[in-house]
Amino acid sequence: MSSMTDSPPRESFRLSQLIYDTRYRSLTIQVVTLLLVCAGVYWLINNLLVNLTAKDLEPSFSFLQSRAGYDIGTTLIPYTNADTHLRAAYVGILNTLLVAALGIVLATIIGVLAGVARLSKNWIVSRLMAVYVEGFRNVPLLLWILLIYAVFSESTPQPRDFRPGPDGTAASSMIWDSFAVTNRGFYMPAPVWGPSSEILGIVFLASILAAFLYRRYAKKLLYDTGRLLPMVWPIFAILIVPVVLAFFVMGRPVTLDYPVLKGFNFGGGIQISNPLMALWLALSLYTGAFITEIVRAGILSVSKGQSEAAAALGVRPNRAMSLVILPQAMRVIIPPLTSQYLNLTKNSSLAIAVGYPDVKATLGGITLNQTGRALECMLLMGLFYLALSLVISFVMNIINNSMKLQER
Amino acid sequence: MSDTHAQTVAFVREGMLDQQPPPTREAGTVKWVRENLFPTWLNAILTIVSLYVIWVVVSTFVMWAFSPTWNATSLSECRQMLEELGRSTETACWGVIRDRWEQLLFGFYPSDLYWRPTVALIVLLAGLGPVLFGTFPRWFMGFSLASPFLIFLLLWGGPIWLPLTVALGFGLGVVAFRVFSRVNQIVAVLVAIVIPLLYWLLLAWPLASELARVMPIGLEPVQSKQFGGFMLSIVIGVTAIVLSLPLGILLALGRASNLFIVTKLSVVFIEIIRGVPLIVWLFTASLLLNYFLPPGTNFDLTLRVIIMVTLFSAAYIAEVVRGGLSAVPKGQYEGANSLGLSYWQSMQLIVLPQALKISIPGIVNTFIGLFKDTTLVLFIGLLDPLGLINSIRASTDWNGIYWELYVFVALLFFVACFSMGRYSLHLEKKLQREHR
Q: What is the pLDDT of residues B298-308, one digit of tens each?
A: 778 888 888 89
| Residue A397 and residue A288 in one domain | yes
How confident is the model over A340-393, as pLDDT tens digits?
Answer: 998 999 999 998 888 888 888 888 888 888 888 888 888 899 999 999 988 888
Rg (CA), chain B: 31
- Is residue A177, in this structure, part of any structural domain at all? no
- Is residue A193, in this structure, part of any structural domain at all? no
Residues of B in contact with A122 (CB under 8 A): 36-37, 39, 43, 46-47, 50
Q: Nearest Cβ partner of B47 from A48, A122, A349?
A: A122
H/E stretch holding B418: helix B403-435
Is B5 or A224 the better-scoring residue by pLDDT? A224
Q: What is the strand order of the sheet A185-188 is part of?
A: A180-182, A185-188, A270-273
Encode B37-59: b = buried (16+ Cβ within 10 Å), e = exposed: beeeeebeebbeebeeeeeeeee
Q: What is the pLDDT of residue A2?
A: 46
> Comparing C-alpha atoms, which of B290, B302, B367, B285 is closest to residue B155?
B302
| Residue A32 and residue A109 in one domain | no
For residue B57, the chain A residue with the least C-alpha distance is A128
Across the range B178-183, mean pLDDT stands at 82
Estimate to the nearest angstrom the gap between the alpha carbon of B229 and the chain centroid: 16
| Residue A356 and residue A298 in one domain | yes
Q: What is the pLDDT of residue A10?
A: 61
- CA B432-B433-B435 angle, 5° bins: 65
Residue A185: left if φ>0, alpha if ψ -120 to 50, beta else—which one?
A: left
Across the range A229-236, mean pLDDT stands at 81
Is B339 or A17 the better-scoring residue by pLDDT? B339
- CB–CB of A344/A394 below 8 Å? no
Q: Nearest Cβ partner of B37 from A124, A135, A353?
A: A124
Does B414 contact A138 at a Cβ distance shorter than 8 Å? yes
Q: What is the pLDDT of residue B415?
A: 93
Beta-carbon count within 10 A of B327 CB: 12
Q: What is the pLDDT of residue A36?
A: 92
Q: Hey, of A349, A367, A389, which one would you mutate to test binding to chain B, going by the most B CBs within 10 A of its CB?
A: A349
What is the C-alpha separation between B258 and B337, in angstroms, rounded?
A: 14
What is the C-alpha separation between B298 and B283, in angstroms, rounded?
A: 16
For residue B421, the chain A residue with the least C-alpha distance is A138
Task: Write B139-148 long-range contacts (CB < 8 A, 24+).
Answer: B147/B123, B148/B242
| Residue A299 and residue A386 in one domain | yes
Q: What is the pLDDT of residue A26?
A: 81
Task: Write A133-136 long-range contacts (CB < 8 A, 24+).
Answer: A133/A289, A133/A292, A133/A293, A134/B418, A134/B421, A135/A289, A135/B414, A136/A285, A136/A286, A136/A288, A136/A289
Rg (CA), chain A: 30
Beta-carbon count within 10 A of A384 CB: 21
| Residue A321 and residue A399 in one domain | yes
Residues of B in contact with A386 (CB under 8 A): 271-272, 275-276
| Phi (first) and psi of residue A138, to 5 degrees | -100, 5
Does B288 contact A374 at a Cβ distance shorter than 8 Å? yes
Residues of B in contact with A103 (CB under 8 A): none
> Comparing C-alpha atoms, which of B412, B323, B423 is closest to residue B371?
B412
Q: What is the pLDDT of residue A405?
A: 64
How confident is the model over A185-213, as pLDDT tens digits?
Answer: 777 777 777 777 778 888 888 989 998 89
| Residue A34 and residue A125 in one domain | no
Q: What is the pLDDT of residue A408?
A: 45
Beta-carbon count within 10 A of A328 CB: 17
- Is residue A352, in this structure, part of any structural domain at all? yes
Size of interface A-B (CB pairs under 8 A): 146
Residue A204, CB half-sphere, CA atoms under 13 Å: how many? 9
| Residue A387 and residue A294 in one domain | yes
Give first-to-last CA distance, chain B, whole Å: 57
In sequence order, what E strands does A96-209 have?
A: 180-182, 185-188, 190-193
B6 pLDDT band (50/70/90 cuts)? low
Q: Hey, of A138, A293, A371, A388, which one would you mutate to test binding to chain B, going by the most B CBs within 10 A of its CB?
A: A138
- Is residue A116, in this structure, part of any structural domain at all? yes
Q: How many domains does chain A have?
A: 2
- Is residue A189, in this structure, part of any structural domain at all? no
- Which residues, in sequence order, are CB contacts of A82 under 8 Å at separation 6+? A67, A68, A69
Kindly report which listed range (A72-86, A122-136, A349-363) carries the lowest average pLDDT score: A72-86
| Residue A327 and residue A370 in one domain | yes
Across the range B328-357, mean pLDDT stands at 88
Q: Which amino acid is at B357?
A: K
Would you call A267 helix, strand, or coil by DSSP?
strand
What is the secondary structure of B341-372 as a DSSP string?
A: --HHHHIIIIIHHHHHHHHHHHHHHHHHHHHH
| Residue A26 and residue A118 in one domain | no
Q: Does pLDDT of A3 surpass 50?
A: no
Helix then strand then coil, in percent of chain A rounded to 5, is 65, 5, 25
Give first-to-last CA distance, chain A, whole Å: 45
How confident is the model over B138-156, as pLDDT tens digits?
Answer: 777 777 788 888 888 888 8
| Residue A330 and residue A399 in one domain | yes
What percentage of chain A exceeds 70 in pLDDT?
Answer: 91
B54 pLDDT band (50/70/90 cuts)? very high
> Comparing C-alpha atoms, which of B414, B390, B389, B378 is closest to residue B279?
B378
What is the C-alpha separation between A276 and A149, in angstroms, rounded?
A: 9
What is the C-alpha separation between A347 and A143, in angstroms, rounded?
A: 13
Query: What would you measure as the largest C-alpha separation in chain B, in angstroms?
Result: 118
Q: Does pLDDT of A106 surpass 90?
A: yes
Q: Nearest Cβ partner of A386 from B53, B262, B272?
A: B272
Is A3 or A275 the better-scoring residue by pLDDT? A275
Range of the domain at A396: 85-139+276-403
- Which residues, in sequence order, are CB contacts of B252 under 8 Å at separation 6+? B266, B317, B318, B319, B320, B321, B322, B324, B325
What is the C-alpha separation between B141 and B145, in angstroms, rounded?
A: 6
Q: Does pLDDT of B385 surpass 80?
A: yes
Q: Nearest Cβ partner of A143 from B261, B294, B406?
A: B406
Q: Does pLDDT of B4 surpass 70?
A: no
B413 pLDDT band (50/70/90 cuts)? very high
Residues of B in contact with A381 (CB under 8 A): 276, 280
Does B280 contact A128 at a Cβ distance shorter than 8 Å? no
Q: What is the pLDDT of residue A1?
A: 43
Kindly report which listed range (A223-237, A245-259, B265-279) carries the lowest average pLDDT score: A245-259
Is A187 or A215 the better-scoring residue by pLDDT? A215
What percentage of chain B exceeds 70 in pLDDT?
Answer: 96
CA of A82 to nearest chain B CA: how many angstroms apart? 27
Q: Does pLDDT of A184 surpass 80?
A: no
Kindly report which listed range (A82-86, B112-116, B135-139) carries the lowest average pLDDT score: B135-139
Does A346 contact B278 at a Cβ distance shorter than 8 Å? yes
| Residue A38 and residue A132 in one domain | no
- Is residue A332, in this structure, part of any structural domain at all? yes
- Is residue A173, in this structure, part of any structural domain at all? no
B56 pLDDT band (50/70/90 cuts)? very high
CA of A236 to nearest chain B CA: how many angstroms apart? 23
For residue B386, the chain A residue with the least C-alpha distance is A143
- The domain boundary residue, chosen from A35, A54, A73: A54
Kindly report which listed range (A83-87, A250-254, B301-305, B426-430) carries the lowest average pLDDT score: A250-254
- Is residue A351, in this structure, part of any structural domain at all? yes
Burial label, B157 (beta-carbon count in 10 A; 0-12, 13-18, 19+): middle
Helical segments of A261-324, H only: 274-301, 304-312, 317-320
B436 pLDDT band (50/70/90 cuts)? very low
A280 pLDDT band (50/70/90 cuts)? very high
Is A268 or A279 the better-scoring residue by pLDDT? A279
> Comparing C-alpha atoms, which of B135, B130, B160, B123 is closest to residue B238?
B123
Does B276 contact A386 at a Cβ distance shorter than 8 Å? yes
For residue A140, the chain B residue with the least C-alpha distance is B372
For residue B49, the chain A residue with the least C-alpha distance is A125
- In CATH, what number is assigned to the domain containing residue A354? 1.10.3720.10
H/E stretch holding A66: none
Q: Does pLDDT of B433 surpass 70?
A: no
What is the C-alpha separation between B281 and B380, in angstroms, rounded?
A: 11
